[in-house]
Amino acid sequence: MALLQRKGSIHAINGKYPDNTSDSDKEKIAGDTLSVIQMSLAPNVLCEVSTSTEETAKEL
């Protein structure tokens, strides 16, 4: 969570984007957040979530 907070990606998890955030910026933040989470996982855990149905950072 600290890494997500530092990178400004926490909005994709808590859904509280700044008022002036465009939809395209929200999509970029969500994609960046998902990749940060995936890159933080151990390989064996990544294999488990890569085959699951979670598609968003919040779901993951």
The model's pLDDT over 21-53, given as tens digits with 9 standing for 90+, comes to 999 999 898 888 888 888 888 888 887 776 556
Say which residue, 10 or 56, is predicted with more confidence.
10
Which pLDDT band holds residue 10 (cuts at 50, 70, 90)?
A: confident
CB atoms within 10 A of CB 17: 15
pTM of the predicted protein model: 0.70
Q: What is the CA radius of gyration of the chain?
A: 12
Q: Tell me which residue of 50, 51, 58 sits closest to 9, measured CA to CA.
A: 58
